Amino acid sequence: MRCWIGSVAVIGPGLPGWAASEAVLAGGSPWTRTEVTLPPPALLPPTERRRTSPTVRLALAAAAEATAEEADRAALETVFASSNGDGVIVGSILDALHDPAGVTVSPTQFHNSVHNAPAGYWHIGVSSTAPSVSLGGYDGSFAAGLLTAVTTVAVRGRAVLLCAYDVPMSSPLAAVRPTGAAFAAAFVLRPEPGSVSGSSLRAALELRYRAVPAPEAPPTDALDALAVENPAARALPLLRALAARRAAVLHVPLLEDAHLELRVAPC
């Protein structure tokens, strides 16, 4: 399957947005690990904004950056991919259920705990009724989201916003599901390049499903190491190829016995 990659976003440690991170990802500037800061979701009305969790704010910040130049955000179909979902909220609910005193779970916590909460907030914020998919696939969540998004572009001939995001779990879940610092990436995928300006088009992307394990690729630098800390950060090899404007053949793990082969050709 083939599509075109338009605008891109990234938020992670030492990667505070695409414009500020492009030179780092391209290898032209050193990467320094810093704390991830999450802006309030300006797209939401104040009441909804107050209810958002850090996970929701992370996803919405990436989605907002990737679509900043879109004339009609509401027209975009969306795919939101996350391995952990809102693990902090889920952990707090489990703590409440486990408390002998019978601590009450707030309605806000409950509605933030569902896997499609970030997608719901996004579609509220941009007044969209376009189709949306929220999915998880353990360490292959980014690959699963990318496969779903590219398939949607190919079959429906519509532009799709893909947003992959994950935050660390809280204790004690973190002990059995360790996750590095918060990370999110977002891409606008298009069925054809003719309707957008060259400045908004990054690359052509060809995707193939390969029913064999992904080739072993030991980390070669600190950013490669970051890519294995967080399931959403599996997007980093693609982000680095896009930032460098270089052709690349990438192998993104999907399952233990399958992966996606990506062929990236810069525009």
Q: Tell me which residue has tokens 């107050």.
A: 50
pLDDT digits (tens, 9 = 90+) for 193-248: 865 544 478 999 999 999 999 998 888 899 999 999 999 999 999 999 999 999 99
Distance CA 187, CA 157 (A): 16
Distance CA 23, CA 157 (A): 32
Residue 35, phi then psi, degrees to nearest 5? -65, 150
For the chain, the average pLDDT equals 92
Q: DSSP state, 103?
A: P
Distance CA 189, CA 202 (A): 10
Q: 191 with 153: CB under 8 angstroms?
A: yes
What pLDDT, on a 0 to 100 scale, did the predictor assign at position 196? 53
C-alpha distances (whole Å) from 168 to each of 16, 34, 68, 171, 180 are 18, 15, 27, 10, 6
Q: What is the pTM of this model?
A: 0.94
Domain 2-266 classified CATH 3.40.47.10?
Answer: yes
Distance CA 158, CA 4 (A): 11
What pLDDT, on a 0 to 100 scale, did the predictor assign at position 195? 55
Percent with pLDDT over 90 in the chain = 76
Distance CA 71, CA 158 (A): 15
pLDDT digits (tens, 9 = 90+) for 37-54: 988 898 998 888 888 999
Residue 216, phi then psi, degrees to nearest 5? -65, 135
What pLDDT, on a 0 to 100 scale, did the predictor assign at position 197? 46
DSSP per residue, 222-265: HHHHHTTTSGGGGGHHHHHHHHHT--EEEEEEEETTEEEEEEEE
Distance CA 27, CA 253 (A): 23
- E-state strands within 139-231: 160-166, 183-190, 203-210
Q: Residue-wise over 156-192: b if at least 16 C-beta within 10 A, else e?
A: eeebbbbbbbbbbbeeebeeeeebbbbbbbbbbbbbe
Average pLDDT per consecutive 10 residues, the chain (267 residues; last block may be shorter): 96 96 96 91 89 94 96 96 92 83 78 92 96 97 98 96 95 90 97 65 96 90 92 97 97 96 96
What pLDDT, on a 0 to 100 scale, did the predictor assign at position 198? 43
Q: Is 193 exposed, middle or buried (0-12, 13-18, 19+ CB in 10 A)?
A: middle
